[in-house]
Amino acid sequence: MRIPRRLQIGITGVFHKMWRGHNREHVLDSRAEKEAYLNSLDKSFSEEIKQHVQWHSYCLMGNHTHEVDRLVVDNKGCLEASIVQFSAWMRNGHSRYGAWYNRRHKRQGKVAYDRPKTEELENEWKVLKEMFYCDANPVRAGMVSHPSRYPHSSHLFYAQGKTNRFTRLLTPPPAYMALGRTAEERRRRYRSLCDLYLRQEGLKQDAPSEEESSEETLREEFVMALYGIDIRGAPPP
């Protein structure tokens, strides 16, 4: 039985979303298809929806996507209206992409496996770690040696400040803003934490450079930053 969306993302309102092609088909193989997918979400991301949903990050693979999103709590502390708006965004955006893909390939039928899978994130540390998980997907798949070499994710936006017509839709999460007082400091710490994550996952074999903080220092800095701006959540011990 399908679990109602409000029970999947109805506590913190922050979640990792994954959308997959029907039968795991590579419906996002080409650059044109990846851009069409993002464009479909862009066209469906109305001003009303933006008041209820924040789009933090994305990574597009050949047959699936990863995104991190946040629902905005209303003045009564509820998420119901935002859940409705998020569902409308996904329904309209994915339908738009499905129609485009079928026209392009002169086919009919399902493009998506099912509605997007959503996994709630418990705290701000989990938000940042999930962004690293998404960034690392092309490395896990053997497509590139480092997330910075993959153009179809938001990694370059957060790590280097590079923008495109889709990154303007993104809202940096509080966990990212807590990484530093300046944009360059945030980018540097994001790069260091992401590389630390890659090493922990066995996806990067080199040792940290002298300029990089140690794992212990990074964790301490991140915890202090989070609590310094009153954000709940911390790295596991």
Question: Is the model's pLDDT at 192 over the cut of 90?
Answer: no
Q: What is the mean pLDDT of residues 149-164?
A: 97
Strand-pair partners of 18: 66, 117
pLDDT higher than 50, residue 20: yes
In degrees, rounded to 5, the angle at the alpha carbon of residue 146 between the alpha carbons of residues 145 and 147 is 135
Provide the CB-side half-sphere exposure for 47 (13 A, CA).
Answer: 0
Q: Which pLDDT score, from 0 to 100, does residue 4 have?
A: 44
Contact 158, 176 (CB under 8 A): yes
* pLDDT bracket for residue 231 (50, 70, 90): low
Element holding 101 (H helix, E strand): helix 80-105
Alpha carbon 219 to its chain centroid, in Å, reads: 21
* pLDDT greater than 80 at residue 207: no
Domain ranges of the chain: 5-228
Rounded distance between C-alpha atoms, residue 53 and residue 93, angstroms: 14
- Identify the residue with better confidence: 213 or 150: 150
**CATH label, 5-228, candidates 3.30.70.1290, 1.20.140.10, 2.40.110.10, 1.10.1740.10:** 3.30.70.1290
Distance CA 164, CA 185 (A): 21
**For 37-73, what is each residue's pLDDT tens digit?**
999 999 999 999 999 999 999 999 999 999 999 999 8
